[in-house]
Each structure stands twice: as C-alpha cells, then as structure tokens.
Chain A
Amino acid sequence: MKISVQQRNVFYALLFLAPNLLGFLVFTFGPIVISLIGSFTTWSLRPSVPLKFIGLQNYSDLFSDPNFYFYFYNTLYLLMGLPISIAGALFLAVFLSQKLELRGPRAAVRLSLGSAVLTAVIVGALFVTGSGSLAVVILALGVITSIGIYFGSIGYRTFYYLPCFTAGAGTILLWMQLYNPNFGLINQVLISFGEFCGWQIDPPGWLTSTKSLLGFLPLPEHFNNGGFGLGAREAMMIMGIWGAVGGNTMVLYLAAISSISPELYEAADIDGASGWQRFCHITFPQLAPTTFFIVVMGIIGGLQGGFEQARMMTNGGPAGTTTTLSYYIYTQGFERLDLGYGAAVSWVLFIIIMVVTMINWRYGNRANTD
C-alpha cells in the first residue's frame, strides 16, 4: 500500500510535534480555554459567590470603567522604550561581532597588564585618602579594561549581561535606591553635574512623580494635570532599557550574526563596501527573521509587562501612573478575588496583543516562510 507524500508528511509532523503539543494542550491551551469560559461567569475565589454564567457583563463593566483606559495608556506608554532597547542591543551585538584584537596577542597582554597595574596604584592611593566608593569604581574600571582587552568580545558580553543575571528582587531594590529623589545616586550625579556646569538643576522626582515626557494624563478634569518631566513611568522605562539592552536580545543577535555566511561579506569587501553599507545591505537584511522575532516578542512581552516593578516598587502609584494592565489583572483577580473580571481584562489585553501582532505578522512574515 502506498502512502502518499502528503500523508507521510502529516505523520512525521505529528510525531515531531507530539511531545510539545501534548504539554501545550494540557498546560497552556486547556487553562486558557478555562479562563476564557471563566471570563463569562462570576468565577471568584469567594465561596459565597455562586458560579453563574453572566455573559458579557464582565466585559461591559470593564469597558465602562474609565480606569481601564488609563491603565491601557500606561501599558502603551511603557512600550515606548522598546525601539530603544532593540536598537541598542543590535548596535552592541554588531560592535561585539567585529574584530577587536590589537596587533597580535602580545599587545593585548601588555595592555591588560598595564591597566591592571595602573589601577592598583590609583586604587591604593584612593583608599589611603579614604574615598572608598571612588576607589571601587576605579577598580571596576580597571578590571573591565583588563578583561575586555584580553578576552575581547566574550568579556564585554558578560558585563553587558549582568543585569539579566541579577534580575529580580535584587535589581528592583537596587533601582529603588538609585531613584531616591534626595539621596539616590542618579539625582546626586545630576546635581553635581549641574553644579559643575554652573546650572541650578531641579532633580526629577522619578518614582515619586506623576510627570511624564508626554506631559499629560488622560483623566477627567482635576486629575489630568501630570505635567512635563521625568516621573515614575520614565523611571521604569529607563530601568527596562538598562536591563534589556545587554540581555537576551543582544545574545540572540549575536547568535544570528554569527550565522551569516562570511562569503557574503567577502563579496562585499571585493566591491569595496564601507562599514555602514555592509550593515545596511548585508547584516540587517540577513537578520530579518531574528528581528521579526524580537519585535513580536518584545511587543507581546511589553504589553504584558510592568507587573513586577509595579508590585515591588510603586504598588501601581503614584496616583495609578504605573499600573499597567497586567498589574490591574493581579489586583482585581487576586486582591479582590474577582477572577472572572480579571480573566475578562486578560482577554481584552489578549485581543489587543493579537491585533498588534497580526499587523506585524503580515509585514514581517512575508520575508520568512517558504
């Protein structure tokens, strides 16, 4: 009996897919369907609320709640940092993939050693004079220089990935200290810098301020006066960019760049292309599938993000400016125990994400599939 090529393909496809598909159905798809159904009911953690089908009521409630639109605005706002992160990561990856050796290994060793000795001397001097913090910074500078020059790309990459290693409670605590409006490092540096240049700088309020770069809050009447400045949302964005620029995106790009066939570059060199032209005509187009992936994941992740930061740093404040939709889902579902409503908000968020991704997909995927 002859099995058609088509059928054979399907068989193999199922075989390959099977383990993944099984887990997918049980742990991903199943719960999703349950939550979808739940969003049409009175699903709640309170036993006193009977489970009843109420149709679209959760949805109509949430659309008539003005807070929902505000939180949606907050969520979109945080996405503004995404292009910066991606561009930064790409830039770093390209930089790190280039040749970084200096005139043979002996020179590298000499330079590393030299910088190490110099650092030790400066550090020693500073310790003696008692400025511990400055000494540590100089020491770090020396260590980075030595490692960077000796190990090249791998060394630098590890330093850039540090924020990702230490993600979680530690990083968040750290940034809370940095953003302290009176004593935090960032404002102190800004003030010192201002004094140095002779300006009187009024340091931004960061996590305590409702100001934003767009200067307004989409709220009725009295509550819409945010003002222009650097507030909590900018603080979160900067923190996000810092964490993302040397992180997974950069690693992905590094991996993808290393997969580009060197023959393409050799051909370009023969034609006498400059660095910028190499980037525009070879590197960037070759990275298209990866960029597509990164942008799609970035948007999906970004629209769902802001939860950890909101919970640990600001509790959604000040005045609700850092409450993103995912944090809203948490407070509604887990603090108010109203799971049906939380599920409804999740599904609305899902539709938003899906629409955006669909748009992305139509433009990006054309270049990809066979």
Chain B
Amino acid sequence: MEIRTLLKHIGLILIAIAMTIPFLWMLGTSIKPHQEVEEFSLVPRSPQPENYAIVLRQKPEPFTGKFLDLDFPKWYFNSIFIASWVTVLQVLTSSLAAYAFARLQWPGRDKVFLLYLGTMMIPGMVTMLPNYQIMVGLQFVNTYQGLIIPAAFSAFGTFLLRQFMLGIPRSYDEAAEIDGATHLQTFLDIILPMARPGLVALSIFTFLGNFQSFFWPLVMVKDDAMRTIPVGLLSFQGQYGQQTELIMAATVMNVVPLIVLFVVMQKQLISGIQLGGVKG
C-alpha cells in the first residue's frame, strides 16, 4: 500500500513539473534586464529584481531614468474590485435562476433554458458592439458600472449551477416541504449549502475569468486610472519595444494572491453532503 501511494506521488509530481516549468520561465524573465529577455534561459546572468519595484513605481526605469507613468496598483485594485462584484452578483443571480430551472416546474421551462443555452453559442465579439452602444447611451463608458453590470449576468453560471442542483437528492426538498418551508427558505437554507462545491467552483471561474477578461475592458476603458490588469499589460510598450520583463513581473505579482485565494477556497469545495444533511 505504501509503495502504491509513493508511486502516485511520483506521478503527480512529474505532471506538476510539466505544468510549472513555464511558470518558472516567467519568474526568471521577471528579474531579467531587458537585453536578456530574448535569451532562452531560465535564470538571468545579471538579475534585476528592481523590475518589481519599477512596476510598482518605486524605482525609475534604468534607461530613461523616469518613473513609469502607469498606475499598476490602481489597476490591481480595479481588477480585484470589479471581479469581486461581478463574482458575487453572478453567483447570486445564477443560483436564483438555476433554482428556477432545476427545482420548479413551470410551463416552457425547458424551452427557456434552451434559449439561455443558445445565447452562449453566439461568438461574444459580435454582441460587443451593440452592448457598447448601450453603454454609451447609458453613459457607462469608462466607469465601474460599465465594467461590472454587463458581466454580472451569465448563462454559463446558470447552466453550471442547474447541473449541480440536479444532483442534489430530492429527499431534502421534500423533508423541508413537510416542515412547511417556503421556496425561498428551501433555497437559502438547504439547496445553497448543499450546492456549495458548485458555488465555489463557479466563484473561482468567474473571479479568475473576469480578472483576466481582456476584450470588454479594452473597449470600455479610456483612462489609465480605470484600467484592469490585462489591458494595462498592453501598455508596457516601452521605447525599446515590449518590456517583457516588466510584463512578467506584473503577471507574477498578479498571480500570487490568486494562488492564495485558490488554496483557501479548496476546502470549500468539499461537499456539504458529507458534512451533514438528512440521514437515511
């Protein structure tokens, strides 16, 4: 039994290395001076950890002697702020809708659901323009609302949570009904906790997806102060071409809290079914 577990570990470790090596390259490049970026080495010959300070505007760039004009900390805040709002709103509205699709019977239910599904099949690019015009009309361009509200509704989230809710045994619902609970109470106190792995998974996807979303903020945002990180990374076009080393430093700083968040959320992925519920 011991050997088998050890072997499993070895296998997992090898796969992990394959996943990690590219990230190592990113780490290495983030402390390279500009002229070494194109060398295909993992480790710089003359490391320049000041790249991080440069991105955070604590130190000037080595060649112009000027500080970066870009407000990376503000972008960071923007990305987190927007992603948080979007995640909470999306999970809420999607779970409400998923309940309606998974637990309630009403005429036309499946057809409407197919409609939802259908809208995911339209390439997003083409709806971007009408959406943009709507934003212009509402004067939401270059504002937080413009970045949050359109992203707060998702057919994807609805679909995902519906599938999760379908997997919850009906016995719980019936027990609650016998106890005289309303739909809202059933939803809040039974289904949501049971569907926690699904909710957590959706939160992770939504948060990360929105954090990395590129096209919509690119179009919507005009001022540097409103940028999110993916759009901002584009602007690391220095006088010598793309400052890849700064982009990498920014990306690494980007990723570390996400990793922390991810690890913390992992515990929540374990289902509520195993932690309680109706027995027998």
Contact = CB atoms under 8 A, between A and B. Distances in A.
Contact of A16 (B104, B126, B270): B104
Most buried by A among B43, B117, B163, B234: B163
Interface in A78-94: 92
B130 A158 contact: no
B140 to A, nearest CB: 11
B134 A26 contact: yes
B197 A100 contact: no
A298 to B, nearest CB: 12
Contacts of B125: 307, 326, 329-330, 333, 342, 346
Contact of B163 (A32, A168, A293): A293
A300 B15 CA distance: 28
Interface in A130-185: 132-133, 135-137, 140-141, 144-145, 148-149, 154, 156-171, 173-175, 177-178, 180, 183-185
Given A103-B2, A261-B273, A329 B123 contact: yes
Given A100-B8, A148-B16, A183-B40, A290 B163 contact: yes
B253 to A, nearest CB: 11
A353 to B, nearest CB: 4
A102 B4 CA distance: 10
Interface stretch (A7-15, A57-65, A193-201, A209-217): A7-15
B104 A102 contact: no
A9 B19 contact: no
Interface in A200-259: 242, 246, 248, 251-252, 254-256, 258-259
Interface residues of A, number: 110
A136 B28 contact: yes
A78 B149 CA distance: 32
A178 B230 CA distance: 22
B58 interface: no
B126 to A, nearest CB: 4
A74 interface: no
A10 B134 contact: no
A370 interface: yes
Interface stretch (A17-25, A47-55, A276-284): A17-25
Contact of B40 (A19, A185, A293): A185
Task: Name which of A29, A92, A252, A326 has the most chain B CB atoms within 10 A of its CB.
Answer: A252
B62 interface: no
A333 B126 contact: yes
Contact of B17 (A24, A141, A178): A141
A319 interface: no
Contact of A17 (B100, B122, B160, B201): B100
A289 B163 contact: yes
Contact of B258 (A165, A289, A296, A349): A165
Given A19-B96, A258-B197, A140 B17 contact: yes
A202 to B, nearest CB: 20
Most A-side CB within 10 Å, residue of B6, B125, B244, B248: B125
A164 B207 CA distance: 12
Contacts of A267: none
Interface in A348-370: 349-350, 353-354, 357, 361, 368-370
A309 B155 CA distance: 25
Contact of B43 (A35, A132, A154): A132
A246 B118 CA distance: 27
B214 to A, nearest CB: 7
B131 interface: yes
Most buried by B among A246, A251, A357, A369: A251
A132 B274 CA distance: 47
A272 interface: no
B247 interface: yes
Given A17-B96, A100-B9, A357-B117, A169 B234 contact: yes
B19 A170 contact: no
A166 B153 CA distance: 25
A349 B230 contact: no
Interface string B170-181: 100000000000
B17 A144 contact: yes
Given A103-B2, A350-B123, 4 more contacts: A28-B127, A28-B155, A158-B262, A162-B23
26 contacts: A9-B105, A16-B104, A19-B96, A19-B153, A27-B131, A32-B119, A32-B127, A35-B122, A95-B11, A101-B5, A145-B13, A148-B16, A154-B263, A154-B266, A154-B267, A158-B263, A173-B247, A175-B22, A242-B22, A261-B273, A289-B163, A296-B117, A304-B124, A308-B214, A325-B123, A347-B122
Interface of A: 6, 9-10, 12-13, 16-17, 19-24, 26-32, 34-35, 92, 95-96, 98-103, 132-133, 135-137, 140-141, 144-145, 148-149, 154, 156-171, 173-175, 177-178, 180, 183-185, 188, 242, 246, 248, 251-252, 254-256, 258-259, 261-262, 289-290, 292-293, 296-297, 300, 304, 307-308, 325-326, 329-330, 333, 339, 342-343, 346-347, 349-350, 353-354, 357, 361, 368-370
4 pairs of A and B residues whose beta carbons are closest in the complex: A23-B153, A132-B43, A255-B197, A31-B130
